[in-house]
Chain A
């Protein structure tokens, strides 16, 4: 995996460029559809193309800079941002982001010291492990929630064990957040801020933890949590992007290509939320996430071999990479394709439906 300037910057061909735009589009569709940032698809996608993990993370975080700002402003106009909560979260998050970026940067320069290895194996492994660990938990949680909702007559809600456990703890001092209308232990806020910042800085998936944490641990309304998370991401993601840039780990070309696809994708995905049932949205989201996790897991043996932890013939690297790539693209194309089919079908059905059915004197209608 050679790259320009030894930093994991790949040589850009037309094919690579189109694939990155496609990654952005799929990430955007999934992002608009599921409310996540799409990094769970874009980052491993770029890694599968040969981009060093930390450069993929840095480029992805940079591409979200502008989107986070605009999204946050829109939410703020609707009164959906608790700025006080965001500020309390952003302070520990910024510290964690700096630590995460520093760790990633240091790991990048750790040599594998093994034949066939190269710089980047350790950081790739680290990023992939964090990715697999966090997203496995998230994917299983979402799928279980979706399957339960599908069977229940009335939505029962997620498991309350964590919520009840946290509610039972007495951890002063408490802070009141007026917009979100919640009172939360400061320690909990700091902990969540640290975790979100760490994940944002490591793999750019802080929102996956931040939004559910605000909803299920703090009790923040679902209308306020995403807006507040975007406000937080504006600063946390911004610091991460600039920190990666300072370390020379942002490929602006990839950022630009991702933007070309992701902004269009977000519109498509957002429209899909209006016409697709919520349970189906969660099923698609959970399935795609777990497939992305499997894809990343397939790449782990390669990094372990490069580090000398396991031994097998180097030619098998290509097979693992192909398998990982195929699985990732299957997840992305499958998920996006399904969403597009549902969107088009729903749109056609909507055009066919007699939009306003007027029934005079319903008593005469049998």
Chain B
């Protein structure tokens, strides 16, 4: 059964609907107040954080670390409660904490305005006008908060599975409708979605442990987890964390392996299959070295749909003949790791070996699911879209990849390039050399022209010629200054690229 997230604004009947839902279904109930209480216990002043981010936007960037801790506590609280059994959560936008988890039913409740106003007037003893203003302010603050915390517009109804308008629907009947939808197979847990939730929990727990330890509390870290492997990325200026992080996370439940990478930025590589022997990993590692970046792998299967829990397990792959006994210790159970999984693990291992690992994850489904799996709080310098839609024909593959690249470019705040462009960025071949040579020659010629004809130039800029034709100076500056700047920039960036210092 799904985790049901009921999202609403205060005084609108959303909490009552959530409680009725939990009672009818026999689910546990958790509210935002519980999460905030837990966060306060962990030393996160949520009230202050809210006021600061809503009323004092200038400090938002400085409070980003506090925000991440709050998100980690919220995620861990919800996941731990959900692990005990089914759950109804009431809050503002809790479902954004579990991207990639498909057994989540996201319900948005639109309150009936008059009733809401009456409730506020009754509780606060305010006049109608003041109550209206109060509700407007509250709604605006909540919208700001959700935008700050999750980077999304909470009124974007595409982000919900069900929107309930209480104008004509009673809360009890609305709850019954939600019960019916929650029963649908579309919202049943799948192995992949359970795993995604476990990863979120592991990641959140790691984040909390690092935040609570004073040695790492102030560090600027990125935490990811995949298959029990926790990857911590930290900035070059925090080199001391290399020895601290393993000590802090040594008893993290569920963590099978810990990887720490020093990186000042991140590159995300999206691909359907990470085949060994391809040139791309080498190119990306080369680029990552130059940029001091960690490379995160995202295995994306656009055509797949997760299997629902309870479906019979797939037949284990067996070879045509039973292998004969070799006399040594043998496995009874044949290896079930697919070639694809192996290639993915190999690619991750290659990144670890080259010191550029930023972790990895797998996502299946549509492109909205892909975008939701990409953490908006991680700063990516580049997103590389590799080989996708492998089951399609060449022309369709090219078109769909291009469409996906454009879609990602619209939704992610980072440059998104197809894999073919990667080589162009790295290559310093004949075309780049010609460009450097031409720019250098032009630059030298321009400088020689100006400095060998100083009197003429100054005459146009400020001499008798200028007195007669002042627009000549304007034209000269308007043309030559940007031209010189552009040529300087091309030569400098090309030389730095040639020296692999870009």
* A interface residues (Cβ-Cβ under 8 A, vs B): 4-5, 7, 9, 12, 62-63, 65-67, 69-70, 77-80, 153-158, 160, 163-164, 167, 181-182, 215-216, 219-223, 241-242, 245-253, 255-256, 259-260, 263-264, 267, 274-277, 346, 349-350, 353-363, 365-366
Say yes or no: A246-B471 contact (C-beta < 8 A), given A182-B57, A356-B352. Answer: yes
Is B122 in contact with chain A by the CB < 8 A criterion?
no
Binary flags per residue of B464-483, CB closer than 8 Å to A gives 1, else 0: 00110011011011101111
Given the known inter-chain contacts A7-B462, A362-B252, please indicate yes or no for A356 contacting B356, CB distance below 8 A: yes
Q: Which residues of A contact B55 (CB under 8 A)?
A: 167
Q: Other than the known A356-B353, A356-B354, what 7 A-B pairs have Cβ atoms closer than 8 Å?
A: A70-B485, A157-B56, A160-B56, A164-B56, A221-B60, A248-B461, A253-B451
Flag if A78 contacts B477 (CB, 8 Å).
Answer: no
| Beta-carbon contact of A154 and B66 below 8 Å | yes
Total CB contacts across the A-B interface at under 8 A: 208
For B483, give the chain A residue with the smallest CB separation: A66
Give the chain A neighbours of B474 by CB distance below 8 A: 242, 245-246
Q: Does B28 contact A (CB under 8 A)?
A: no
Give 25 pairs: A residue, B residue, CB < 8 Å, sorted on A.
A9-B462, A62-B477, A66-B484, A157-B56, A160-B58, A163-B56, A181-B147, A219-B56, A219-B58, A221-B60, A252-B457, A252-B476, A252-B477, A255-B481, A263-B485, A264-B492, A274-B265, A274-B292, A276-B237, A346-B236, A350-B236, A350-B292, A357-B245, A359-B257, A360-B256
Report how far A365 CA is from B256 CA in the complex, Å. 12
Give Cα distance in the complex from A353 to B239, angstroms.
Answer: 8
- Asked if B486 and A66 make an inter-chain contact with CB atoms under 8 angstroms apart, the answer reads yes
Q: Which 9 A-B pairs have the closest CB atoms?
A: A66-B485, A355-B355, A219-B57, A157-B59, A248-B462, A245-B477, A274-B264, A66-B482, A155-B62
Q: Given contacts A158-B58, A353-B242, A363-B251, is CB(A251)–CB(B481) below 8 Å?
A: no
B218 proximal to A (CB < 8 A)? yes
Chain B residues in 8 Å Cβ range of A63: 481, 485
- B147 & A259 in contact (Cβ 8 Å cutoff): no
Q: Which residues of B contact A252 (CB under 8 A)?
A: 450, 457, 461, 476-477, 480-481
**Is the beta-carbon distance between B450 and A275 smaller than 8 angstroms?**
no
- How far, in Å, is A188 (CB) from chain B's closest CB? 14
Residues of A within 8 A of B61 (CB): 221-223
Chain B contact residues: helix, strand, loop or mixed: helix
Q: How distant is the Cα of A215 from the Cα of B60 in the complex, in angstroms?
A: 10
Q: How many B residues, CB 8 Å from partner?
A: 77
By the criterion CB–CB under 8 Å, are B58 and A259 in contact? no
Given A66-B489, A363-B251, A356 contacting B484 (CB threshold 8 A)? no
Closest to B486 in A: A66
Contact of A356 among B66, B265, B357 (CB under 8 A): B357
Q: Does B372 contact A (CB under 8 A)?
A: no
- Interface residue from A77, A223, A354, A362 paired with B246 (Cβ < 8 Å): A362
Bitwise interface map of B from 352 to 393 toward A, beta carbon under 8 Å scored 1, else 0: 111111000000000000000000000000000000000000
Nearest-Cβ distance from residue B69 to partner chain A, whole angstroms: 10
CB nearest to B351 among chain A residues: A356
In the complex the two chains form, is B485's CB within 8 Å of A245's CB?
no
Say yes or no: A275 contacts B255, CB within 8 Å. Answer: no
Q: For residue A241, which residues in chain B have a CB less than 8 angstroms away from its CB?
A: 477, 481
In the assembled complex, the Cα of A164 lies from the Cα of B58 at a distance in Å of: 11
CA distance A92 to B289 in the complex (A): 45
Kindly provide the distance from the CB of B397 to the nearest chain A CB, expressed in whole angstroms: 26
| In contact, A12 and B250 (Cβ under 8 angstroms) | no
Q: State whether A245 touches B473 (Cβ < 8 A).
A: yes
**B481 near A66 (CB under 8 angstroms)?**
yes
Complex contact B246–A359 (CB within 8 A): yes
Tell me the complex Cα distance, A80–B356, Å: 28
Q: B400 at the A/B interface (Cβ < 8 Å)?
A: no
User: What is the chain B residue whose CB lies nearest that of A6?
Assistant: B462
Cβ of A362 and Cβ of B251 under 8 Å apart? Answer: yes
Q: How far is the CB of B306 from chain A (nearest CB, A)?
A: 29
- Interface 1/0s, chain B 156-190, versus A by CB < 8 A? 00000000000000000000000000000000000
Known A-B contacts A66-B486, A252-B476, A256-B450; the reply to A245 vs B249 at CB < 8 A is no
A361 pairs with B257, CB closer than 8 A: yes
* CB contact list, B226-250 vs A, under 8 A: 235-237, 239, 242, 245-246, 249-250
Q: Pick from A163, A256, A277, A362: contact of B249, CB below 8 A.
A: A362
- Kindly state the separation between the CA atoms of A253 and B2 in the bound complex, as whole angstroms: 70
B residues in contact with A65, CB < 8 Å: 477, 481-482, 485
Interchain CB contact under 8 A, A361 and B256: yes
* A248: chain B residues within 8 A (beta carbon): 461-462, 466-467, 470, 473
Kindly list chain B residues whose C-beta atoms are within 8 Å of the C-beta of A67. 485, 489
Residues of A within 8 A of B56 (CB): 157, 160, 163-164, 219
Alpha-carbon separation in the docked complex, A361 to B246 (Å): 10
What is the minimal beta-carbon distance from A85 to any residue of chain B, in angstroms?
14
Q: Hey, which chain B residues are within 8 Å of A276, CB to CB? A: 237
Question: By the criterion CB–CB under 8 Å, are A365 and B477 in contact?
Answer: no
Q: CB within 8 A of B260: which of A263, A349, A356?
A: A356
Give the distance to chain B from A24, nearest Cβ to Cβ, in Å.
10
B212 at the A interface (CB under 8 A): no
Q: Which interface residue of B256, B450, B458 has the most chain A CB atoms within 10 A?
A: B458
B261 on interface, CB distance cutoff 8 Å: yes
Q: How far apart are the CA atoms of A12 and B447 in the complex, in Å?
A: 14
**Chain A residues near B218 (CB-CB < 8 A):** 153-154
- Whether B457 contacts A253 by the Cβ 8 Å rule is yes
B250 touches A365 (CB 8 A): yes
Asked if B413 is an interface residue, CB under 8 A from chain A, the answer is yes
Assembled-state Cα–Cα distance A135/B482 (Å) = 28
